[in-house]
């Protein structure tokens, strides 16, 4: 899948933070959002985590209310994204969602198919998902990661009009960027335990060598 290249916006990306070792000073415990916080987070957006020369741009379906309330991707307790990222070897230690700013120093970024937050991905319309696919084409053309990895096969099928897509590498591309589909790491996705999600992420990481 390819789209017309878009001219760079000219914005300079900030210098990526470096990942401290496991022996670094302990992080402050993240404050859990209240019910009022979650209610207020509906339709909110979260900034993408981007940087220069990304190896992989991970892509969620859309932010959940917990993530939107905290401003951190894949933040709800029970989501397997961060543990799978560590187990697959993408990060040198288990990162917390509030450490997402460290990812670009590892050649990693995060975005979403649909930017607005909702309680469940099922609330998204087919039109929103298709529009999200078009947005991703523009974003990938701009940022130029080596791989766009969408975490959710159903969302990928809808966003890119590929109803037969399965987990793993895809034949389509966006410019030079390869497309890859990963399992949805949500804790509600009982069909995919953590070890299997990590295995799929590891397969992606090994394809970069």
At residue 118's C-alpha, the angle toward residues 115 and 124, to 5°, is 75
Given a cut of 70, whether residue 151 has pLDDT beyond it is yes
Judged against a pLDDT cut of 80, whether residue 175 lies above it is answered with yes
Residue 71 confidence class, pLDDT cut points 50, 70, 90: very high
Tell me what pLDDT residue 187 has: 93
Per-residue pLDDT tens digits for 13-36: 444 566 655 434 445 557 899 999
Q: Spell out the domain ranges in the chain.
A: 46-207
Question: What per-residue confidence (pLDDT) applies to 68?
Answer: 98
Is pLDDT of 179 > 90? Answer: yes
The phi, psi pair for 110, rounded to 5°, reads -140, 140
Phi, psi torsion values for 109, nearest 5 degrees: -145, 170
Give the predicted TM-score (pTM) of the model: 0.87
| Architecture (CATH level 2) of domain 46-207 | 3-Layer(aba) Sandwich (3.40)
Asked whether the beta carbons of 1 and 174 are under 8 A apart, the reply is yes
What rounded mean pLDDT belongs to the chain? 90
CA distances from 55 to 110, 133, 178 (A): 11, 20, 10
Can you tell me the distance from the alpha carbon of 154 to that of 44, in angstroms, rounded to the nearest whole number? Answer: 23
Compute the average pLDDT of residues 66-93: 98
Burial 118-140 (b: 16+ CB within 10 A, else e): beebeebeeebbeebbebbbebb
> How confident is the model at residue 2, as a pLDDT?
45
């Amino acid at each position: 899948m390819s789209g017309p290249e878009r001219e760079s916006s000219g914005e300079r990306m900030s210098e990526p933070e470096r990942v401290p070792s496991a022996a670094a000073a302990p992080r402050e415990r993240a404050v859990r959002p209240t019910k009022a916080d979650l209610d207020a987070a509906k339709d909110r957006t979260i900034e993408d985590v981007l940087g220069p020369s990304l190896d992989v741009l991970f892509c969620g379906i859309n932010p959940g209310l917990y993530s939107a309330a905290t401003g951190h991707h894949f933040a709800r307790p029970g989501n397997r994204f961060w543990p799978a990222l560590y187990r697959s070897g993408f990060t040198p230690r288990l990162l917390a969602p509030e450490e997402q700013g460290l990812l670009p120093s590892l050649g990693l970024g995060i975005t979403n198919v649909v930017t607005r937050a909702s309680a469940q991905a099922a609330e998204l319309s087919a039109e929103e998902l298709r529009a999200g696919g078009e947005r991703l084409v523009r974003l990938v053309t701009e940022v130029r990661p080596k791989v766009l990895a969408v975490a959710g096969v159903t969302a990928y099928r809808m966003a890119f009009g590929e109803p037969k897509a399965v987990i793993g590498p895809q034949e389509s591309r966006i410019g030079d960027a390869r497309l890859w589909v990963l399992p949805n790491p949500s804790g509600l996705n009982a069909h995919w335990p953590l070890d299997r999600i990590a295995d799929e992420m590891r397969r992606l990481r090994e394809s970069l060598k």
